[in-house]
Amino acid sequence: MTSTTDSDSGLSKFHRLLVDQVRHEFTASHQYVALAAWFDDQDLPQLARVFYEQSLEERDHAMMIVRYLLDRDIDFALPGVDEIETAFSSPRDLVALALRQEREVSDQFQRLAKVARDEDDYTGEQFLQWFIQEQVEEVAKMSTLLNVVDRANGNLFDVETFVARDMPGEGEGSQNAPATAGPSVS
């Protein structure tokens, strides 16, 4: 392998960042459970559903990366999750947090792609393509939801109606998605 290796872990920089990304995806999954539970507690079932589902998708993203690391025989330790935010005062805070999180994840994948390219890891670069596309959709989805919340101007019944009509459950996972380690849940 031509990859630059880190003297401590023996992993290429790309593989170290991928292991970090497992942590980011599990953290996002955990954060989305917190958002969903908050909406659930506020009797906003449609918003709660969107974030419960989103949480499962993030878990699948983590497990797709785990699958890749296993398939490529990378010696890694499964990371834990980072701290999440749980104190919110308005529905807008939660959706804004979700949008911020998705933008951060998009940046993380851009960086991963750059490092894969720098290290001539073409297999790794190709693996990232689905995630980069997926991030475009997830940022767009949260950006739309934030606009709807702002336009509803405090009328959460309108937001719930929009979500029920325009954000239906996606059912089985998207096509061409990488395989997960173990069963996929979204």
Interaction site with Fe ion (CB under 5 A)? 25, 58, 61, 138
Q: Please report how the helices 122-152 and 91-118 are oriented relative to each other, as an axis angle in degrees rounded to 10.
A: 160
In terms of CB distance, is 104 or 118 closer to Fe ion? 104
Closest approach of Fe ion to the CB of residue 157, in Å: 27
Give the ranges where 42-90 is alpha helix by DSSP (H): 45-71
Q: Distance between CA 56 and CA 157 in Å, rounded?
A: 25
Ligand-binding site membership of 172 (annotated): no
Q: Which is nearer to Fe ion, 53 or 58 (CB)?
A: 58
> Taking the complex as a whole, how short is the minimal distance between the CB of residue 154 and Fe ion, in angstroms?
27
Query: Given the structure tokens 């878990």, which residue do they identify?
Result: 59
Task: For the CB of residue 43, give the shortest distance to Fe ion in the complex, in Å.
Answer: 25
Is 126 annotated as belonging to a binding site? no
Query: According to the annotation, is 175 in a ligand binding site?
Result: no
Residues 6+ apart with CB under 8 A from 59: 25, 26, 29, 185, 186
The closest residue (CB) to Fe ion is: 61
List CB contacts of 165: < 8 A, sequence separation 6 or more: none
The CB-of-101 to Fe ion minimum distance in angstroms stands at 7
Comparing CB distances to Fe ion, the nearer of 84 and 152 is 84
Annotated binding residue at 57?
Answer: no
CB 9 → Fe ion: shortest distance, Å? 23
- DSSP designation for 169: -
Nearer to Fe ion, 85 or 120 (CB): 85
CA 167, CA 145: separation in Å to the nearest integer? 9
Nearer to Fe ion (CB atom), residue 58 or residue 160 = 58
| Contact assessment for residue 126 and residue 100, using Cβ atoms and an 8 Å cutoff | no
CB neighbours of residue 77 within 10 Å: 7
Q: Is 102 annotated as a binding residue?
A: yes
User: Binding-site residues for Fe cation, please?
Assistant: 25, 58, 61, 102, 135
Q: Which residues are annotated as a binding site?
A: 25, 58, 61, 102, 135
